[in-house]
Amino acid sequence: MDAASIAAAVAGGRTSARTIVTEALGRIARCDDRLNAFTDVLGARALARADAVDAALRGGDTAGPLAGVPFAVKNLIDIAGLPTRAGSKINRDRAPAAQDGTLVRRLEAAGAILIGALNMGEYAYDFTGENVHDGDAHNPHALDRMTGGSSSGSGAAIAAGMVPLTLGSDTNGSIRVPAAFCGCFGLKPTYGRLSRAGSFPFVGSLDHLGPMARTVTDLALAYDAMQGPDPDDPVATTRASEPALPILESGLDGLRIAVAGGYFARGGDPDAFAAVARVAEALGASRTVELPEAQRARAAAYLITAAEGATLHLDRLRTRPRDFDPAVRDRLIAGAMIPAPFVERAQRFRRWYRAAVLGLFDSVDVILAPTTPCRAPEGGQTHFVLDGVSLPVRANIGVFTQPISFIGLPVVAAPVWLDDGLPLGVQVIAPPWREDLALRVARHLERIGTCAAPIAELP
């Protein structure tokens, strides 16, 4: 069941939280040996929490909006009693977290039940879903295909129906890419909207945390439960919560929707653009807008990512270089050698680019763009051909996501199935603090059947 159905059934006494959690643990046990989505399964904790939820309901307490809903989190988010490994070998030597991360606590306050930690790319510097320490996560829709990263386990666990709700992180596309490759919905909120406190950072000026789910309603439920200021995250907004669920079914009346052209209409497989065209047709969107200097924005995002990421890991690079994934280590070392004036110029450009893109929202409310340039590549694939050019897979999967997260815009990644093959994704992009607009559009697409997130039928 989806999260909304579970919460309604538990709150209505038609089932118990313990029953739901037991079923989820059983599905994980049956499926995860083929998917490798989980790094830690917290059965005892989850069952104890489920019993507490059931006891509270029997005692007459009001059920939370996520009562009894199992969820799992990318293993860069703190879980009390576990070292926060962030997909790495080195972090396993850290002391266990003293408490859960802020978003875990907020979801459990809404009645949800943490059931495990999820696989990811090392230190979130990854778009493929491959991990040399924990093994690669596998795409439930085709086990020989990539899940996308770095929130690889988060996407796989949703697509396989092991849990209805997961948390991931998105610096350059790490929620949106797995959502596209695994065929589920993902929300990258406005930068600063959801607290990152109690998570292992990658690039502080670009990092976001957000939910992934099989339905847009579940995204909105989780998003609403996690909102609110947090003094423990220095960039968290002080804005009051702005719930999206109450207006999720408002439809599209009055919304001005455009398609991103120029940079976002080239450099990918034809099917990537066909997915956007299908969504645009379903929405009646015929206008095209162009994000100015998007290619330069992607280059600037690369510079900032490499430089900030390297700074974070300098001590580890000096003392334990052999314990990194060599591909991650080499990119971090390269980032450490970027001249400071280059990064300064990238940050100045970033301010200009943000202002230029925000100006587009004076005349449109939502912009559509492809999520990835292609369907999920095969596991281990190092190169693909885009527009007749052979390019490295790892470096180019985020070609369409990086120019958006670079300036912190909210995005819902929506899955599109053009045939019986693998899914593609479309980004539904909104102005800052208007997650509700992106969610409304995605919900309309889901309601009319243009976008859907079916559970994979595992062999």
Catalytic residue among 16, 88, 169, 174: 174
> Rounded CA gap, 206 and 300, in Å?
12
Catalytic residue among 16, 88, 150, 152: 150
Could you read off the pLDDT of 243-298 as tens digits, one per residue?
A: 999 999 999 999 999 999 999 999 999 999 999 999 999 999 999 999 999 999 99
Is 390 marked active-site? no
Tell me the mean pLDDT in the region 130-139. 98
pLDDT at 459 over 80: no
Residue with tokens 């924005």: 297
Core vs surface per residue 54-73: b (16+ CB within 10 A) or e: bebbeeeeebbbbbbbbbbb
pLDDT at 241 over 80: yes
Is 174 marked active-site? yes
Could you read off the pLDDT of 341-363 as tens digits, one per residue?
A: 999 999 999 999 999 999 999 99
First to last CA, the chain: 20
pLDDT at 185 over 80: yes
Residue 42: pLDDT band (50, 70, 90) is very high
| Predicted pLDDT of residue 420 | 74
Tell me the mean pLDDT in the region 33-50. 98
Element (H, E) at 170: strand 165-170
> Rounded CA gap, 207 and 219, in Å?
19
Nearest to 127 by CA among 141, 147, 142, 97: 147
Could you read off the pLDDT of 79-118 as tens digits, one per residue?
A: 999 999 999 999 999 999 999 999 999 999 999 999 999 9
Residue type for position 295: Q
* Average pLDDT of the chain, as a whole number: 97
CB atoms near residue 333 (< 10 Å): 16
Could you read off the pLDDT of 362-420 as tens digits, one per residue?
A: 999 999 999 999 999 999 999 999 989 999 999 999 999 999 999 999 999 999 999 87
| Predicted pLDDT of residue 392 | 96
Tell me: cis bond preceding 150? Omega within 30 of 0 counts.
yes
Residues with Cβ within 8 Å of 70's Cβ and at least 6 positions away in sequence, in order, are: 6, 20, 21, 24, 46, 112, 113, 114, 115, 163, 164, 165
Residue 421: pLDDT band (50, 70, 90) is confident
| Predicted pLDDT of residue 419 | 86
Nearest to 291 by CA among 272, 320, 264: 264
Is 195 marked active-site? no
Q: Six-digit token pair at 331?
A: 């990119």
CB of 443 closer than 8 Å to CB of 216: yes
- % of the chain at pLDDT higher than 90: 98
- % of the chain at pLDDT higher than 70: 100
> Rounded CA gap, 136 and 147, in Å?
9
